[in-house]
Amino acid sequence: MPFSSLSRLFRPALPMFAENKRYFKSLDQFQPVEEYEFVVFDTELTGLHERQDEIVSIGAVRIKRLQILAGETFYAQVKPEKPLPKNSTLVHRITPQQLETAPPLAEVLPSFIDYCGKALLVGHFVDLDSAFLNRACRRLFGSPLHNPCVDTLRLAQIHMERFGAPYRNKIDAGPSYNLTELSRQYGLPSFVPHDALQDALQTAYLFLFLIKKFQGEGYRTLREIFRAGHGARWAL
Amino acid sequence: MRASPQNIHAVTPEIVLEFLAHTLPFNELDTDTLRNLANSCLIDFFPKGTVIFRQGQTQVRYFHLIQKGGVKIYLKDEDGTVTLKDFRGEGEYFGALPIIQGTNVANLNVETVEDTFCFLFPREAFLSLIQSCPKVTHYFLRSLSEKLVKTAYAQLRQHKIAPRTENALFLFSAQVGDIVRGAPRAIAGSDSVRMAAARMVELHIGSLLVHDQEKKIVGIITDRDLRTKVVAAGLDYQTPVSRIMATPLKTIPSHKVCFDAMLQMMRLSIHHLAVEQQGTITGVITTHDIMILQGTSPLFLFREIVAQRTIEGLYPLARKIPAVIRTLIEEGAKANNITRMITVLNDHLLDRLLTLLVAELGPPPLPFCWLVMGSEGRREQTFITDQDNALLYAEPESEAQGELAAAYFKILGEKAIDHLIGCGYPPCPGEIMASNPKWRQPVSGWRGYFDHWLRNPEPLEVMHSAIFFDFRAGYGDATLAENLRQYLVRNVPQQEIFLLHLAQNALEARPPLSFFHNLIVEKDGEHKNSLDLKKKGIAPFVDFARLFALKHGIPENNTLGRLQILHEDGHLSRELYSETVKAYEFLMQLRLVHQLRMIEQQHPPDNHLNPADLSELEKQTLKEAFEVVRRLQSHIRQEYRLGEG
């Protein structure tokens, strides 16, 4: 691994990164889903450009034995390095004043990484959030996160491919994979969108819903669930 | 937890908080309690058709609150017949009962009828909520319905009392020697049947033993013998008894139990057996005696008491009161009715005893009133409790009359106390009895005592005098007692300092609840791990009711009666009144059952209860009752501006 040792010269990686990497490399993918611990997370961003936009808040909830631990949530606002663009405030309603006193990402990220621990990460369209996270991790700690990620959007697609769209959606033109829309279609309790913690919870509900529906159809392990779709893309 | 650096970003999920804040009974909780509860919450999803609880199988580890969706609750019997009990939807719950009752096993089947999200609260969190928030406790006890409370009483009735075999417990435990009444009465064999009949009438008995010239008992003659062998046969009334007596005498050893005596009489078709102890005849036992022993109806006992012609004959009747009470408890009578029944029986017994005693001593020189005090005065006796009595008599008109009265009432008092002890009422350790000259006083003497307590109150004296304020007439001229009561009703309300001492006294017994609402038991000594139900549980209610009854000039003695009048007169809010009555009745019930159990295990009854012997529900209700004590005491503190002592 010459690349990672090289980057370590510039910025020492947290020992946890290396440990997690070893841990997840040998992760047994054939356990029933309820055996894994998951952290469902969401980030709010200044925009969608990976190279220029920044994280302004992170929300996350923990799932053990396929139950959401309401008392173990994570929420932090982050002070961006560049001034907050006005149009992003319109989306997530976080104002520049609110972020004035927030800590920078360099301070927030370690506690979030610590919070994630050995859990598998879950997000809705998780590629976007993890891209931002990993870019920041590489920059600040010299290593990306090694926790495997599960995408609820992908789960929903697989579910619809296998078992059809939810009844509520059948009269619509086509399925929508937007988090709020999916939750509405599946009849889940609804949360305020565009708040990192609320979105994380909404995603966690969707995740529980889909996983248990898969279980009801006889798919017991994560691997089986992803096999149900065609791709087995579940690690970064 | 929030202080640790790893968790600075922990926040309580609004979703749970908000849901709880809009759901009964959690909306009653303060923010901190709500937050703690929300933090212990797990959110679970059950697809439609999931059986969450399986009756008799599933371990219930969580209280389930439905966030979205719905469940059906049903019972399945052995034949597989399903009885639908209920549908529960959003904001409703299931799983509370097994947790509260402490069985922790599902009592019903719960199956989702829609995709259902639930908030799960761990058993411990739910229990501690119930323990710390009376409002939540009430909600669940109430909404789990009357049925559950009835279950608590049913548990008290059934589980705590050993099943009785064929209503015959006493038949198998009482020895014939115990129920023999008085010394054997005998007549010489040479005496005439006419003399025998006259003697039986005189003694109010149905049989006589017959002795020979050496005074050796050789036979028995009964009133039936007189009917069948003498009158019906036209025999001369001068016939000697020895000609018609039953001989040889049938005897039974005094250590045999009554059941054996009954069997023997049935086998021989006779109604009388002589009881023999080491070769000596000590008395006669009859089928009637056995019947009395079996009879457990209060009315039956009542008639027996009223019909008694000898004081000694009352002794065994008094000991039968527990058996009667047991029947009442089994039939589901509430504590208040039971103590009233005990009081009625005791009152009749006392009335009979003193009537017979006065007949024996001759008419009293002055009208008098036998005062009963303490629990007896309040009509709240449980099983045999210590005597608390005194004697009040009319004011003598001369010194000579005073001396005469003192002498007469001395004998009356002392004899009465001895007989009461004979009936099984233990003497008062503090000598508050009519046998003590200090407590045999004319009207002026008693007024003097009360004036002294009221005007020069010393904390210790106030404490000791409290039971005197619960006096009532037990026997004799009741107007004497009523006049004394009126005197107090007029005078006590002005005695601020006395009432203040009484108030302080009422705060002495602290509710045995720890900060975290666990029951505190004695740490060591004779009553280790137990809790004094009388001192910690009953007394605070009694003290509270007495204090405010005296303060407001209410002549009533009974605690529930006092509380009712206090409520009606607007001194006690409806809510506190109803809580107080419920709590007090539960404590009395608990005490009665505890004491009955002790009596049946051949222990003297006491008030020391081990909470470990109680079911979770009983423990819960007990804690709730102590919570009421806490409220009553803070009511007193407010009224008298007394701080936490």
b/e map of A148-181 (b: 16 or more CB within 10 Å)?
bbbbbbbbbebbbeeeebbeebeeeeebeeebbe
* Nearest CA distance, B98 vs chain A (angstrom): 22
**Contact list, B6 vs chain A (CB under 8 Å):** 111, 114-115
**Cα–Cα distance measured from residue B409 to residue B437, given in angstroms and rounded to the nearest whole number:** 9
CA-nearest of A214, A75, A189 to B44 is A189
**Cα–Cα distance measured from residue B500 to residue B480, given in angstroms and rounded to the nearest whole number:** 28
Nearest CA in chain A to B118: A67
Residue B327 has pLDDT above 60, yes or no: yes
Whether residues B9 and A108 touch (CB distance < 8 A) is answered with yes
Residue B342 has pLDDT above 80, yes or no: yes
Q: Identify the pLDDT of residue B580.
A: 92
Confidence of residue B159 (pLDDT cuts 50, 70, 90): very low
Instruction: Return the domain boundaries, chain A.
Output: 27-228
| Sequence-separated (6 or more) residues with CB below 8 Å from residue B291 | none
Token pair, residue B338, equals: 């039971």
Using a CB–CB cutoff of 8 Å, tell me whether B33 touches chain A. Answer: no
**Contact list, A114 vs chain B (CB under 8 Å):** 6
Q: What residue type is B332 in one-letter code? A: G
| Mean pLDDT to the nearest integer, B309-324 | 85
**Cα–Cα distance measured from residue B240 to residue B191, given in angstroms and rounded to the nearest whole number:** 5
Q: Identify the pLDDT of residue A232.
A: 40
**Contact list, A205 vs chain B (CB under 8 Å):** 43, 45, 117
Residue with tokens 């305020």: A192
Instruction: Check if the beta carbon of residue B308 is closer than 8 Å to that of residue B287.
Output: no
Asked if the peptide bond before residue B248 counts as cis, ω within 30 degrees of 0, the response is yes
Strands B116-122, B82-88: parallel, antiparallel or unpaired by DSSP?
unpaired
Using a CB–CB cutoff of 8 Å, tell me whether A69 touches chain B. Answer: yes
CA-nearest of B263, B266, B286, B262 to B274 is B286
Using a CB–CB cutoff of 8 Å, tell me whether A72 touches chain B. Answer: yes
**Cα–Cα distance measured from residue B203 to residue B207, given in angstroms and rounded to the nearest whole number:** 10
Token pair, residue B10, equals: 């922990």
Q: What residue type is B571 in one-letter code? A: H
Instruction: Check if the beta carbon of residue A143 is closer than 8 Å to that of residue A17.
Output: yes
Using a CB–CB cutoff of 8 Å, tell me whether B68 touches chain A. Answer: yes
Residue A203 has pLDDT above 80, yes or no: yes
Angle between helices B298-307 and B311-318 in degrees, nearest 10: 170
* Nearest CA distance, B159 vs chain A (angstrom): 39
With a threshold of 0.90, does the pTM exceed it? Answer: no
Better pLDDT: A194 or A138? A138
**pLDDT tens, A122-135?**
999 988 898 899 98
Q: Please report the number of interchain residue pairs, chain A to chain B, with beta-carbon separation below 8 angstroms.
A: 79
Within 13 Å of residue B95, how many CA atoms lie on the same side as its CB? 26
Residue B438 has pLDDT above 90, yes or no: yes
Nearest to A187 among B38, B43, B115 (CB): B115
**Cα–Cα distance measured from residue B488 to residue B480, given in angstroms and rounded to the nearest whole number:** 13
Confidence of residue B303 (pLDDT cuts 50, 70, 90): confident
Using a CB–CB cutoff of 8 Å, tell me whether B40 touches chain A. Answer: yes
* Nearest CA distance, A172 vs chain B (angstrom): 22
**Cα–Cα distance measured from residue B208 to residue B154, given in angstroms and rounded to the nearest whole number:** 48
Residue with tokens 């599946």: A186
Whether residues A189 and B67 touch (CB distance < 8 A) is answered with yes
* Nearest CA distance, B41 vs chain A (angstrom): 5
* Nearest CA distance, B513 vs chain A (angstrom): 29
Token pair, residue A209, equals: 């819903």
Residue B47 has pLDDT above 70, yes or no: yes
Q: Give chain B's domains with CATH numbers.
A: 5-143 (2.60.120.10), 169-292 (3.10.580.10), 500-640 (1.20.120)
Q: How far apart are the first and last CA of chain B?
A: 34
Mutate to test the interface with B, among A41, A68, A101 (most CBs of B within 10 A): A68
Confidence of residue A234 (pLDDT cuts 50, 70, 90): very low
Percent of chain A's residues with pLDDT above 70: 80
b/e map of B221-246 (b: 16 or more CB within 10 Å)?
bbbebbeebbeeeeeeeebbbbebbb
Nearest to A73 among B11, B44, B46 (CB): B11
**Cα–Cα distance measured from residue A207 to residue A222, given in angstroms and rounded to the nearest whole number:** 12
| Sequence-separated (6 or more) residues with CB below 8 Å from residue B346 | B321, B376, B381
Residue B537 has pLDDT above 80, yes or no: yes
Q: Identify the pLDDT of residue B322.
A: 77
Instruction: Check if the beta carbon of residue B25 is closer than 8 Å to that of residue B129.
Output: no
Max Cα-Cα span within chain A = 58
Contacts by B405-411 with C-beta closer than 8 Å and gap 24+? B405/B364, B405/B365, B405/B366, B405/B442, B406/B437, B406/B440, B408/B361, B408/B364, B408/B365, B409/B364, B409/B368, B409/B434, B409/B440, B410/B437, B410/B440, B411/B361
Report the run of H or E that residue B414 belongs to, with start and end.
helix B399-422
Using a CB–CB cutoff of 8 Å, tell me whether B373 touches chain A. Answer: no
Using a CB–CB cutoff of 8 Å, tell me whether A2 touches chain B. Answer: no
Q: Identify the pLDDT of residue B105.
A: 87
Residue B462 has pLDDT above 90, yes or no: no
Whether residues A212 and B47 touch (CB distance < 8 A) is answered with yes
Nearest CA in chain A to B35: A71
Left (φ > 0), alpha (ψ -120 to 50) or beta: where does A85 sit?
beta
Confidence of residue A223 (pLDDT cuts 50, 70, 90): confident
Token pair, residue A15, equals: 């020992």
CA-nearest of B53, B100, B99, B59 to B74 is B53
Q: Identify the pLDDT of residue A202.
A: 94
Residue B167 has pLDDT above 50, yes or no: no
Task: State the alpha helices, DSSP H only, in B180-219.
Answer: 193-203
Whether residues A67 and B44 touch (CB distance < 8 A) is answered with yes
| Mean pLDDT to the nearest integer, B69-75 | 83
**Cα–Cα distance measured from residue A98 to residue B167, given in angstroms and rounded to the nearest whole number:** 79
| Mean pLDDT to the nearest integer, B442-464 | 88
Residue B158 has pLDDT above 90, yes or no: no
Sign of the Cα pseudo-torsion (B31, B34, B38, B39, in order): positive
**Cα–Cα distance measured from residue B151 to residue B368, given in angstroms and rounded to the nearest whole number:** 48
Using a CB–CB cutoff of 8 Å, tell me whether B116 touches chain A. Answer: no
**Cα–Cα distance measured from residue B69 to residue B117, given in angstroms and rounded to the nearest whole number:** 6
Contacts by A51-56 with C-beta closer than 8 Å and gap 24+? A53/A132, A54/A78, A54/A80, A54/A81, A54/A82, A54/A105, A54/A132, A55/A80, A55/A105, A55/A132, A55/A133, A55/A136, A56/A80, A56/A84, A56/A88, A56/A92, A56/A94, A56/A99
Confidence of residue B141 (pLDDT cuts 50, 70, 90): low
- SS3 state of residue A121: strand
Nearest CA in chain A to B114: A187
Distance of CA B346 to the CA centre of its chain: 13
Using a CB–CB cutoff of 8 Å, tell me whether A137 touches chain B. Answer: no
Q: How large is the C-alpha radius of gyration of chain B?
A: 32
Residue B526 has pLDDT above 70, yes or no: no
| Mean pLDDT to the nearest integer, B462-482 | 90
Using a CB–CB cutoff of 8 Å, tell me whether A208 touches chain B. Answer: yes
Q: What residue type is B380 in one-letter code? A: E
Residue B453 has pLDDT above 60, yes or no: yes
| Mean pLDDT to the nearest integer, B3-8 | 41
Where does A27-228 sit in CATH, by number?
3.30.420.10
**Cα–Cα distance measured from residue B187 to residue B220, given in angstroms and rounded to the nearest whole number:** 9
Q: Lowest mean pLDDT: which of B34-43, B88-97, B136-145?
A: B136-145
**pLDDT tens, A56-66?**
899 999 999 99
**What number of other Cβ atoms are within 10 A of residue B257's Cβ?**
15
* Nearest CA distance, B112 vs chain A (angstrom): 14
| Sequence-separated (6 or more) residues with CB below 8 Å from residue B259 | B168, B171, B172
- DSSP lists the bridge partners of residue B65 as B93, B119
* Nearest CA distance, B75 vs chain A (angstrom): 25
Residue with tokens 């054996």: B260
Mutate to test the interface with A, among B39, B42, B119 (most CBs of A within 10 A): B42
Q: Identify the pLDDT of residue A53.
A: 83
**pLDDT tens, B541-575?**
999 999 999 999 999 999 999 999 999 999 999 98
Whether residues B43 and A204 touch (CB distance < 8 A) is answered with yes
Confidence of residue A5 (pLDDT cuts 50, 70, 90): very low
| Mean pLDDT to the nearest integer, B90-96 | 85
Better pLDDT: B12 or A67? A67
| Sequence-separated (6 or more) residues with CB below 8 Å from residue A136 | A55, A105, A109
CA-nearest of B362, B387, B392, B367 to B376 is B387
DSSP 8-state symbol, A236: -
Percent of chain B's residues with pLDDT above 70: 85
Q: What residue type is A102 in one-letter code? A: A
**Cα–Cα distance measured from residue B361 to residue A41, given in angstroms and rounded to the nearest whole number:** 96
Token pair, residue B202, equals: 């005189």
Q: Identify the pLDDT of residue B296.
A: 57
